[in-house]
Amino acid sequence: MRIHIQNAPEDPLFAITPRQWEEAARRAGEGEAGHDLSIGDRAEEFAAAIAAAEAVIAPPGALSSLFPVAAPRLRLIFCTTAGVDGLAPFSRLPPAAVLVCNRGIHGAKAGEFAIMAILMLAAQMPTLIAAQSCGRWEPRYTQTLAGRRLCVVGLGTLGGAAAARAAAFGMEVTGVSRSGTSPGITACRAVIPADDLDAALPEAEFLLLACPLTPLTRRMIDRRRLASLPQGAGVVNIGRGAVLDEDALADLLAAGHLGGAVLDVFDHEPLPPDHRLWRTPNLVVTPHISADDPTTYNPRTLDRFFAGLAALRRGDPVPNAVDFVRGY
């Protein structure tokens, strides 16, 4: 098969190498399959490869900037991120190709980050670090996580991993998914549909957002919903920035209604230097690093690609094919 990998020049840590490809092909039993592979990170390399390519592996930024283009033989587009909101409404992609997202590889890292963020908020670390930076000795005694209530919005790979870690610390976890189901996730004491979110928020001492950005989730956590969280609640966002009203979050942190927040994702990335979130009290900003472990990312990505390729060859539904209507 004719396969092209387009790497992002601005992201060399996650560039897929020929060696990683060969190792993954061997793991998939395709070492001798004779695939015709090209790898590039410049637009000219993409242009030279795409007319003949049957499958493409690329990050969403490359896909959105390099398509539309004639790709008559293309059958599989493998996006190297789990979120594909940057490609919506998907009309730039060739309609005959299946778009596959990289869902399923981020759980281990995202679960650790989520529980770290919740522990930081529970221990009031943002306040303690602010006091340290001013040389102030201000003891704060805080509760353990056991028995405290967490609401996780989005119960897929990221949210499911976060829920499992939180349950292991004895938290009472309520999960929210679009459908109200969460196949394979057993850590929640209740799972509710997105339509019932309003009932869960006033109970949530901690709110963790781990859902995709879609027409339904854009600004889903608005000012009214943030204000409905109990006094002192903590908020963590590892999904997408535009799910949350950032301005309302900053106001409610500054007013002391919310106790603290950890944001890994933002409406505009990189977060502009003059943005108020940099200076919002009790807020920890991390630059979109919560779910990606560079030592395992590319091998796991390529394993998912080969699984998709095998399904396509068999004529089976391709795992993680994106539903263009739902947007994930």
Ligand X SMILES: NC(=O)c1ccc[n+]([C@@H]2O[C@H](COP(=O)([O-])OP(=O)(O)OC[C@H]3O[C@@H](n4cnc5c(N)ncnc54)[C@H](OP(=O)(O)O)[C@@H]3O)[C@@H](O)[C@H]2O)c1
Please give the residue ranges that form the binding site for ligand X (CB under 6 A).
82-83, 103, 106, 153-159, 176-179, 181, 194, 210-214, 216-217, 238-240, 264-265, 288, 290-292, 328
Which of 115/155 has CB closer to ligand X? 155
Q: Closest CB to ligand X among 13 and 134?
A: 13
Catalytic residue among 218, 257, 275, 288: 288
Q: How far is 226 from 247, CA to CA, in rounded Å? A: 11
Residue appearing with tokens 């006033």: 202
Catalytic residue among 22, 269, 276, 326: 269
Give me the least distance between CB of 52 and ligand X, in Å please: 31
Could you confirm whether 45 is annotated as catalytic? no
Nearest to ligand X of 2, 288 (CB atom): 288
The per-residue DSSP string of 20-51 comes to HHHHHHHHTT-TTS--EEEEESSHHHHHHHHT
Adjacent-strand bridge partners of 236: 208, 262
CB-nearer residue toward ligand X: 94 or 159: 159
* Shortest Cβ 82–ligand X spacing (Å): 4
| Nearest Cα to Cα of residue 160 among 138, 184, 178 | 184
**Any catalytic annotation for residue 223?**
no
Catalytic choice (4, 240, 246, 304): 240
**Concatenated DSSP letters for 178-239?**
SSS--TT----SEEEEGGGHHHHGGG-SEEEE-----TTTTT-B-HHHHHTSPTTEEEEE-S
φ/ψ of 204, rounded to 5, equals -85, 110
Minimum CB distance to ligand X, residue 264 (Å): 5
CB of 6 to ligand X, least distance (A): 19
Q: Which residue is nearest to ligand X (CB)?
A: 156
Is 268 among the residues known to form the active site?
Answer: no
Active site residues: 240, 269, 288
